[in-house]
Structure 1
């Protein structure tokens, strides 16, 4: 998964690279992840994406409307990606060797573009965002419905589980605890804005020790080791009921 703390490597990329497709075949038997959302819902969601209008409540409770949140490092805000505006920056970050090791999206700009379009043209299960600190883009995030994602095949999913992927873009922002600060802030944003969500999840690569440390410092707990298609991951969970204790 994409690095969480640039000090933690920079990235804690998705469970499969590029972003897992909800239509991938399941392991055995009937796969509930193959269930489709109503066509009219998908059509309205895509229309809202094209026009930039908040046409309806979506699967992630309108991430773009969450607004800024204070952190010890300054005001932080998630802003949904606009391809024409943000692709050059995100592609440059993906070609940083420290990021590429985990995200596996290095190469021509079209590689990153395809990864973003898979989400922007989907049904809203995953929302790619830039992270702005004091108004400056410095990180890339994916907020996604873990219970509707292929990840749910590999752990006991609960309704409205919400996953996060993160990479810290600038080298100067890595290795100084900023990843932990932002992870805690975003996890708290999810729990505050998504009242139906009881848990925020992530699955960093077990080899990425700094990333694991960043999650632990951000109030996540280690839940299990999980064999995903492209890595052995640590399932990290931040529970609503424990948020004031960790």
Structure 2
């Protein structure tokens, strides 16, 4: 495994490569707003997504959000989730220990956070979220050996999202009050044998 690049807090997500899942080959591809804005904005305007992401409206709303994500010195990377060559989900992989979230829980160095949305309605409600979350957790723990756990904080009202995290092996830790929501703090620990391998 290559040495960590301290100038890249998330260890070159674009180079992580694919994960094989029961649904097909999956990879995270960093967002380029010029290429991806129309698709992501369309997803953000789906009422089921807008209820939790609050980014509905003209493309400029989504564009501003993507630019804020990309301007964080690499500690948050917005990505498309590409399944068998088709973009079908949006992800934000971020350093939770460098994020304002760290003021709301006992952060550990290199904690890695994840936000996601499944883009198309046809892909929701059939267990795909849990399968892809397992794949992403596998990529994070494989490509980020310093990371001992993956963190998520879905809105408590978003029952399907919480169910997907539980299905992917996350455990519910506690409820936390964030500026824009009351959230379920979800944690997926690195398996003990993997911790030994990473030392």
2:93 paired with 1:143: yes
How far apart in 2 are the matches of 1:220 and 1:127?
21
Give the structure 1 partner of residue 191 of structure 2. 241
- Cα deviation for residue 193 of structure 1 reads 0.4
Residue 231 of structure 1 deviates from its aligned partner by: 1.2
Q: Which residue of 1 aligns with 2:158?
A: 208
Q: Structure 1-normalised TM-score?
A: 0.75
Partner of 1:164 in structure 2? 114
- What secondary structure sits across from 2:160 in the alignment? helix
Measure how far apart 1:232 and its partner are: 1.0
Aligned pairs for 1:166-205 within 5 A:
166-205=116-155
- Aligned residue for 2:197? none
Gaps (5+ residues) in structure 1? 1-54
| Preserved contact between residue 219 and residue 243 of structure 1 (Cα < 8 Å) | no
**Where does residue 69 of structure 1 map in the other structure?**
19
Please tell me whether residue 221 in structure 1 is matched to residue 163 in structure 2: no
After superposition, what is the alpha-carbon deviation per residue over 1:166-203, rounded to whole angstroms, capped at 9, x for unaligned? 00001110000000000111011100000000010000
Alpha-carbon distance in structure 1 between the residues aligned to 2:193 and 2:170:
9
* Corresponding residue of 1:5: none
1:122 Cα deviation from its structure 2 partner? 2.7
Distance 2:46 2:15 in 1: 30
Superposed, 1:20-39 pairs within 5 Å as none
CA distance in 2 between counterparts of 1:70 and 1:233 reads 30
Report the aligned-residue RMSD. 1.5
- SS of corresponding position for 1:79: strand
From the superposition, tell whether residues 179 and 128 of structure 1 become closer, same or farther in structure 2 (CA, over 3 Å): same
Number of residue equivalences: 190
In 2, Cα distance between equivalents of 1:127 and 1:95 = 21
- Cα distance between partner residues in 1 of 2:166 and 2:70: 30
Does the residue aligned with 1:119 lie in a helix, a strand or coil? helix
Residues 20-59 of structure 1: CA distance to partner in whole angstroms, max 9, x if unpaired? xxxxxxxxxxxxxxxxxxxxxxxxxxxxxxxxxxx98510
Corresponding residue of 1:121:
71
TM-score (ref. length: structure 2): 0.92
> What are the ranges of 5 or more consecutive residues in structure 2 without an aligned counterpart?
195-199
Query: 1:117 & 1:243 partners in 2: Cα distance?
Result: 38
In 2: Cα distance, 1:208 partner to 1:167 partner: 11
More strand by share: 2
CA distance in 2, matches of 1:243, 1:175: 33
Q: Give 3-state SS (helix, strand or coil) of 2:11's partner.
A: coil
